[in-house]
């Protein structure tokens, strides 16, 4: 099967592409490298047989015409993410995330292709702040923007708009699609802008005692190996057509300060935590209800400790090379 992955040089996109390539599929990988990385791992991937890479701007009209010939499935992961970007370049976050999706839908109008769109748990942020009881959060919880003036919503709102676009286009043309909402995916090569890599950078470069912003907030983390397997499962299941499905792991919800303590222990660092005020707009708790995914037949396999055991060596090697 010939498969298109947008945002393929990013964290989940890269791991998904490796998995699909190992299964023997032909891949068309697209990224503009604004956030994805042309590192040694991605270079090795795009030089494999049956893999084609395009560096392209998906906000340009007609760009999918040049990269999508013969494609049967599309994993649409391309987006500008990262909390700092929500505040520093909110215009580009909104523009890129929405236009890349609308252009894909225009291209897919009359094509026999299934699209899997990657949304996010950020779509629930306003709802969770207003309605504390909706945790674990199910797919049918109402989505709400609690403060339209807060530019942090540039990302979450772009995903809500893109989700609405799929249902709107499907109303007037035969577009086959599924929507997944990722919940705190982590693992090797996830970048440096999220809580786990930030902790590891401070620990492994001896920026101690370890600063923790907030600490009592809880998150439920899902290892990228599980995320990739579940993503492929949703794409391939006929039961998910037109559905929204959570990708996450609800079994190990953990307080951020406890996560920090575990990471210090696993890295062999003997220090204390320095608790600071949580960032503005943070939600106190995030945990998905993954009943729908479980009923479809997929259950997460990787525990938090097991996942960190795959992640810490990757970052240790990176920071050792940077120090050298």
Which residue range forms the structural domain that includes residue 248? 2-323
Q: Are 122 and 155 in contact (CB under 8 A)?
A: yes
Q: Tokens in use for 290?
A: 């993954």
For residue 134, give every residue at least 6 positions away whose Cβ sits within 8 Å of its Cβ, in sequence order, or none. Answer: 124, 127, 128, 141
For residue 280, give every residue at least 6 positions away whose Cβ sits within 8 Å of its Cβ, in sequence order, or none. Answer: none
Q: Are 197 and 204 in contact (CB under 8 A)?
A: no
Question: The domain that contains 172 carries what CATH number?
Answer: 3.40.50.720
Q: From first to last of the 324 residues of the chain, give the pLDDT tens digit.
A: 999 999 999 999 999 999 999 999 999 999 999 888 899 999 999 999 999 999 999 999 899 998 888 899 999 999 998 888 899 999 999 999 999 999 999 999 989 999 999 999 889 888 877 766 678 889 999 998 888 999 999 999 999 999 999 999 999 999 999 999 999 999 999 998 889 999 999 999 999 999 998 888 999 999 999 999 999 999 999 999 999 999 999 999 999 999 999 999 999 998 889 988 877 667 788 899 999 999 999 999 999 999 999 999 999 999 988 774
Count Cβ atoms within 10 A of the Cβ of residue 208 and give its class: 0-12 exposed, 13-18 middle, 19 or more buried: middle
Number of domains in the chain: 1
C-beta neighbour count of 6 within 10 angstroms: 28
For residue 115, give every residue at least 6 positions away whose Cβ sits within 8 Å of its Cβ, in sequence order, or none. Answer: 73, 74, 76, 104, 108, 166, 175, 176, 177, 178
Q: Tokens in use for 286?
A: 């995030």
Give residue 132's pLDDT: 63
Give residue 324's pLDDT: 47
């Amino acid at each position: 099967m010939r498969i298109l992955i947008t945002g393929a040089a990013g964290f989940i996109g890269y791991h998904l592409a490796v998995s699909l390539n190992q299964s023997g599929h032909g891949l068309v990988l697209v990224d503009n490298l604004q956030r994805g990385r042309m590192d040694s791992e991605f270079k090795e991937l795009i030089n494999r047989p049956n893999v084609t890479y395009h560096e392209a701007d998906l906000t340009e009209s007609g760009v999918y015409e040049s990269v999508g010939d013969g494609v049967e499935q599309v994993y649409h992961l391309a987006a500008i993410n990262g909390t700092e970007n929500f505040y520093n370049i909110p215009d580009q976050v909104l523009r890129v995330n929405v236009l890349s999706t609308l252009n894909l839908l225009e291209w897919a109008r009359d094509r026999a292709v299934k699209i899997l769109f990657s949304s996010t748990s950020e779509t629930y942020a306003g709802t969770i702040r207003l309605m504390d009881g909706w945790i674990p959060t199910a797919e049918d919880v109402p989505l709400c923007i609690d403060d339209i003036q807060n530019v942090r919503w540039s990302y979450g709102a772009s995903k809500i708009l893109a989700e609405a676009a799929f249902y709107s286009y499907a109303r007037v043309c035969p577009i086959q699609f599924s929507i997944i909402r990722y919940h705190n995916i982590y693992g090797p090569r996830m970048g440096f802008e999220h809580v786990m890599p930030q902790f590891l950078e401070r620990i492994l470069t001896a920026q101690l005692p370890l600063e923790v912003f907030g600490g009592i907030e809880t998150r439920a983390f899902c290892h990228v190996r599980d995320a990739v397997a579940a993503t492929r499962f949703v794409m391939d299941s006929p039961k998910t057509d037109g559905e929204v499905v959570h990708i996450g792991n609800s079994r190990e919800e953990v307080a951020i300060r406890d996560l920090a303590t575990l990471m210090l222990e696993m890295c062999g660092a003997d220090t204390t935590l320095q608790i600071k005020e949580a960032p503005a707009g943070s939600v106190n708790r995030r945990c998905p209800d993954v009943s729908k995914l479980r009923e479809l037949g997929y259950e997460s396999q990787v525990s938090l400790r097991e996942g960190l055991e795959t992640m810490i060596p990757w970052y240790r090697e990176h920071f050792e090379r940077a120090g050298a």
